[in-house]
């Protein structure tokens, strides 16, 4: 948002509106993260690795299903989802729809990440998820202005540059 603020208020509003749906998706996937974290840790604490594996398989299965369904809904109905907010600006509505469509392509990776973090945490390894997320945040801080403003060899992409970076980082952090 810091970088998009320099592009203009429409860019900030567009990503803010579309961002609601990204955060809503995260909240859906906390179901599988918490389930994996608690189930795996309790099963391993009881010395039942086969039960822990069953929790892992179920959590990943449901994370994949929820992510794919949510990504499909977000991609297909992005304009209708953005219009729910009743924003008068056509630029905000079109940029918000574009942003939501681009980031929805990476929802599978974005939303399965918390489930993997829950699995690692449940196994007693909170360091790996922390390092992956830290690396993603640092890359985001560095690459956001490059793609938004078109520095170096990249063209200026504005809102779609921020969305493209979100998509790429979700894949990379996976």
Looking at residue 174, what is its pLDDT?
A: 44
Per the structure, the complete domain to which residue 120 belongs is given by 2-173
d(CA 142, CA 130): 18
Looking at residue 96, what is its pLDDT?
A: 93
Least confident span in 58-67, 105-114, 135-144:
135-144
Number of domains in the chain: 1
Task: Write down the mean pLDDT value for the chain.
Answer: 86
Confidence label for 113 from pLDDT (cuts 50, 70 and 90): confident
Instruction: Provide the whole-model pTM.
Output: 0.82
Count of residues in the chain: 174
Confidence label for 166 from pLDDT (cuts 50, 70 and 90): low
**What residue ranges in 56-125 does DSSP mark as E strands?**
none
Provide mean pLDDT across the span 110-119: 88
Confidence label for 173 from pLDDT (cuts 50, 70 and 90): very low
d(CA 71, CA 102): 10
Place of tokens 């490059």: 146
Q: What is the pLDDT of residues 23-48, one digit of tens each?
A: 998 888 899 999 999 999 999 999 99
Looking at residue 40, what is its pLDDT?
A: 96
């Amino acid at each position: 948002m810091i970088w998009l603020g320099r592009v203009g208020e429409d860019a900030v509003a567009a990503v803010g509106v579309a961002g609601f749906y990204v955060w809503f998706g995260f909240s859906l996937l906390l179901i599988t993260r918490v389930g994996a974290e608690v189930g795996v840790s309790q099963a391993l604490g009881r010395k039942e690795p086969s039960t822990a594996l069953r929790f892992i398989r179920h959590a990943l299965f449901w994370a994949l299903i929820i992510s794919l369904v949510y990504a499909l809904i977000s991609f297909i109905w992005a304009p209708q989802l953005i219009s729910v907010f009743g924003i008068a600006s056509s630029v905000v509505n079109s940029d918000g729809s574009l942003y939501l469509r681009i980031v929805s392509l990476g929802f599978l990776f974005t939303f399965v990440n918390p489930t993997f973090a829950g699995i690692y945490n449940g196994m007693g390894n909170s360091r790996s998820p922390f390092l992956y997320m830290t690396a993603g945040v640092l890359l985001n801080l560095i690459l956001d202005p490059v793609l938004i403003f078109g520095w170096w060899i990249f063209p200026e992409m504005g809102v779609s540059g921020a969305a493209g970076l979100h998509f790429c980082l979700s894949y990379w952090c996976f």
